[in-house]
Amino acid sequence: MTYQNRTHPNVPGVDQSDRTVPANLRQSGPTPVQMLVSTRVRKSPFWHLSIEAGAWRATIYNRMYHPRGYARPEDGGAMAEYRALVNGVTLWNVAVERQIRVKGPDAEAFVNTVITRDATRIRPMHGKYCILCNDKGGILNDPVLLRLAEDEFWFSVSDSDLMLWLQGVNTPRRWDVDIRELDVAPLQVQGPLSEGLMADLIGEALRDIPYYGLMEAQIEGCPVVISQTGFSGEKGYEIYVRDASETAERVWYALRGLGARYGLRVIAPGHHRRIAAGILSWGQDMDSETSPFQVNLAYQVPRAKPVDYIGKAALEAQRDEIEVGRYPFSLKLVGLKMGGLPITDYAPDFWLVGDAEGARCGYVTSPWYSPELEQNIALAYVPWDKSAVGTQLQVELPEMYQETSGQSVAAVVSEVPFVASEHPSAREQGRG
C-alpha cells in the first residue's frame, strides 16, 4: 500500500506522502521495559567486558546487543561520558559495526557497482566514508569502507543487513568475489588524548597514519587493523580486532591497562558529540527511503562516475529536478538550535516541529544539549521551503525539557556542523 496523496495518519501536518512506510510519529515517551537477553540476538566478543566495565543499558544494532550507557544518571549519565570524550580519552565497544569482506579478482569492480562514489580512487590501506543506495536512490547503508588490498575491501556497516543485500546483488554470480562476514570486532579509542595513548601502545609509527589511513599492527600479540577514523568529531582511532572471538580479552585489557595512565574511560558511542559534528546515524537520521539529497550527502553522488552503479539513474534524475527548483521530496534534514531545558539523554520519540505559527510540519531525529553552545541542538526534517538557515520554527519538547509547561520552544535552522571537529568535515572529509 502506498501513501500517495495522503498525509501521515497520526500527525496530518507532517507530509510523508513520498514514503511507503512513514516514520512513526506517535509520541509514546519513555517506556519502562526490561530488555530480554537471549541467544536469538548475538553477543559480541566484548559484551561481557562491557558489562564488567559497568554497562547498565543496551539497545539492538545489527542484530547484536549494543551497550549504550556506563555512567548512571546519579553519576552524571551521558553528559559525564561526554566530558570524558571531549577532554580526555575514551574506549567504545562498537563490535556491532560488523565487518563484511568483499575479496577476489573482481572486488574493485563489484564495490564500484554498489557504492555511489568512485571505489577506484581508494588506495590500498586507506578508507572512505561512503553510501550504498537501492535502485530508487534510497540509502541502504553508510559504512566506512576499508581497502586492505587491491582485491580486498571491508564494509564496516551501520545498522542494516547489508551482507545479505551484497550477496543478493551477486546472485547469480556476476563478479568473481567472495562476500562474507569476518571474525573481526572493532573498538574505538576517541578523544584528544587518543593519539598519545595509541602511540604508546603501538609505537611512534601510529602518529603517521593519515585521516582515513590504515595500518596493520599487534596488541598483546593479537593482530589488529587500525584506522584514524571515528564517530565523534574528536581525534580518534578504530581498532579492528582480528580473530576477535579468541583475542577480545587480551586487546581489551591491554587498552584498559595502559589507558589507566591517560585516565581512559569506557563509554557508550558519543551520539551527543556526533550530533554536534553533523555526523548522521543510519536508522535515526536516514534510512532506505531517504535520498542523499535530503540529508546533505549530495557530494556522495558524483557527476562524472562512468560506472552504472546501483541507484545512479534515480539519483541523477533527482539532482536534475532539484537543480531546476523542483523538489522530489517532502522534507529535508537541517540543523536546529533550540530552546528548552538541557536535553542530556537519548530521545525516545521523533519530537514534532512546527512552523513559526506552531502548525506541525516536521520532526526531530537527533537532539542533544551542547555544552559548548550552552543550548540544545538537533537534526530535524522540515519542509524544503522552511529549510533555509535562519528560518524560525518551534519544537514540541516533552514536559521534562519544557521551559514553560505546555509550550513549544523556539528553534532556528542553523549551519551544520554546530561545533568544529578535529577534521573539518568529520567522517565526510575527503570528497574525492
Chain-centroid distance of CA 141 in Å reads: 10
Pairing of strands 90-93, 265-266: parallel
Assign 18 to helix, strand or coil: coil
Q: Pick from 73, 66, 19: which is nearest to 41 by CA? A: 66
Rounded Cα gap, residues 381 and 389, in angstroms: 13
Q: Which amino acid is at 396?
A: E
**238 annotated among ligand-binding-site residues:** yes
Rounded Cα gap, residues 329 and 381, in angstroms: 11
Rounded Cα gap, residues 110 and 166, in angstroms: 9
Please state the three-class secondary structure of 34-47 as a single string: CCCCCCCCECCCCH
- Count of H helices and E strands in the chain? 8, 21
Helix-helix angle 194-202:244-259, to 10 degrees: 120
Neighbour count for residue 73 (Cβ, 10 Å): 13
Binding site as annotated, residues: 238
Binding site as annotated, residues for substrate: 238
